[in-house]
Structure 1
Amino acid sequence: MKILFLGDIVGSAGRKAVLERVPALREAWGLDFVVVNGENATNGMGLSGDHAKELLTAGVDCLTLGDHSFDQKDMMQFCETETRIIRPINFAKTAPGRGVRIFEDRRGRRILVAQVLGQVFMKRAYDDPFSALDQVFMTHKLGGAIQAALVDVHCEATSEKMAIGHFLDGRASMVVGTHTHVCTGDAQILPAGTGYLTDAGMCGDYNSVIGMDKAEPLRRFVTGMAKGRFQPAKGEATLSGFYVETDDRTGLATRVRQIREGGRLEQSVP
């Protein structure tokens, strides 16, 4: 199975890049399944129902969220009816929506998608991500009822993302980090066969401070004072993400590659 995961969409520039490029990438690369983290897609804070609909119509199979899951209040109700949206499994026991779901690709192969929030350096004390994921993978085995499994690890600390990757090695097809908006260069297949990347980066304008127009973040760092709200940068966006090919029999990764498509960080396609 050929799976593409794209990192956090930031604002209108990121949305535009995904809407314009994903349909062509699906065809050119023969993609079977596309997952995109959309939690900063609406003005840099959360994801609205209308923007979710646009992305799903453009050829995205699943949207994951994060710690800003419900910054756009209509998502509280929208994610209850739109089953292609996944919020963190350990967000809160009373949170609407779902943190894990099994999808089917166009050939009927089953792929599990789950998302989890980290605990280190995060603003809230979320439930233990390791026990939450352990429960999922104790009942959903690769090579059995599912042919692939993708986990979006939404964390601040690289060490916590790496620990979760090794914790799931051999149990998930791919583990990919999100949240920091800065792509890492450590795409690899772990010893037991799981494709891993510490952070997929963002789908946004990299002439920015993690996707935001530079002026206000620089002012706050230099002076310690705020003058206005952060606004997403609106230059040409780079699609950043993780491409993984899996073995249908075992569900494990056979090929992995970091993706940077268009914009300032463009590199060659897989």
Structure 2
Amino acid sequence: MKILFIGDVVGGPGRKIVSQVLPRLIRRWGLGLVVCNAENSAGGSGLTLRCYEELIDAGVDVMTMGDHVYRKDEIHQIFDQTDRVLKPANFPSDSPGPDLALVEARDGTLAAVFSVLGRTFMKPVDCPFRAADRVLERIAPSVRVVFVDVHAEATSDKQLLGRYLDGRVSAVLGTHTHVATADEQVLPGGTAFQADVGMTGPHDGILGRRYDRVLSATLSNVPTHFDVAVGDPRLNGALVSIDPSNGRAMAIQRVSINQHDAQRILNDAPDQPADPSLPRS
């Protein structure tokens, strides 16, 4: 079973490249499940109903959120419509939205997805380690495939959570910093790990925002709106292969698809057989 995790989708450029290539990738790679972090998809902060529908239409199955989960009021309408858009599991129990998704993959495998928020350099939240324990207690033993998005600033926090959950979940993959790390691995207990899978959106900027706006605010100390950048859109993420019989990860591969790669994928025959390799210029 193959799961594609798409890193923080930022604004229109991020949604556009997902819409362009994901339908082809689902067929080409034989993806059983697609998860993406969508908390930056609406203008760089939050999720609207239109953005949600765009990502669903592209083939995303589950969306994780983070510290910007409530930035757009429409998130409440989305929660009313679906249980596949998730708040972090270490938010207060009375905060709106589900914190666990149980979904049937395209091959019929039942999978669980949840996320937790880090605490270092982040707003105060409950302990992500204990929150993960509580969620895992709610998942039936028959559900072998368990996917965790850890939305955090510190790589050490993410590495610790990966080790803490090693052998108990299929994958612990990080988001939030928008910069892909080169530490993808399968831990000794069979859990795939990467501290951050990177950002899906415009890379000709600062973490998806126009660098001139960020630079101006930095040099002058005068606040300004950080508009979403537009250049060099890329889809970044991770492709994880999992044995559905026991939930152990067998492999993890970084994914980075730029606009040139995307065009080559679109030019390929739509019925091209599954191939884990990416086209390269």
1:234-254 CA distance string (max 9 Å, x none): 123110001100112110100
**Are 1:237 and 1:264, in contact at CA under 8 Å, matched by a contact in 2?**
no
Name the counterpart of 2:96. 96
> Counterparts of 1:159 and 1:52 in 2: how far apart (Å)?
31
Unmatched 5+ stretches in structure 2: 263-276
2:109 is the counterpart of 1:112: no
Name the counterpart of 2:56. 56
- Equivalent AA in structure 2 for residue 239 of structure 1: L
4+ residue runs over 4 A deviation: none
Aligned residues between the structures:
266
Name the counterpart of 2:278. 269
Name the counterpart of 1:137. 136
Name the counterpart of 1:199. 196
Give the 3-state SS of the residue equivalent to 1:176 in structure 2. strand
Of stretches 46-55 and 74-83 in structure 1, the one that deviates more from structure 2 is 74-83
2:269 is the counterpart of 1:237: no
> Counterparts of 1:156 and 1:96 in 2: how far apart (Å)?
23
2:163 is the counterpart of 1:154: no
- Equivalent AA in structure 1 for residue 200 of structure 2: C
- Equivalent AA in structure 2 for residue 138 of structure 1: E
Give the 3-state SS of the residue equivalent to 2:214 in structure 1. helix
Q: Per-residue deviation at 1:181?
A: 0.6
**Are 1:80 and 1:96, in contact at CA under 8 Å, matched by a contact in 2?**
no
TM-score (norm 2): 0.90
Name the counterpart of 1:185. 182
2:30 is the counterpart of 1:30: yes
Give the 3-state SS of the residue equivalent to 1:21 in structure 2. helix
TM-score (norm 1): 0.94
- Equivalent AA in structure 1 for residue 236 of structure 2: S
- Equivalent AA in structure 2 for residue 9 of structure 1: V
> Counterparts of 1:148 and 1:77 in 2: how far apart (Å)?
29
- What is the root-mean-square deviation in Å for CA atoms of aligned residues? 1.8
Relative to structure 1, the CA distance from residue 92 to residue 200 in structure 2 (aligned partners, 3 Å threshold; closer, same or farther) is same
Unmatched 5+ stretches in structure 1: none
Q: Percent identity at matched positions?
A: 39
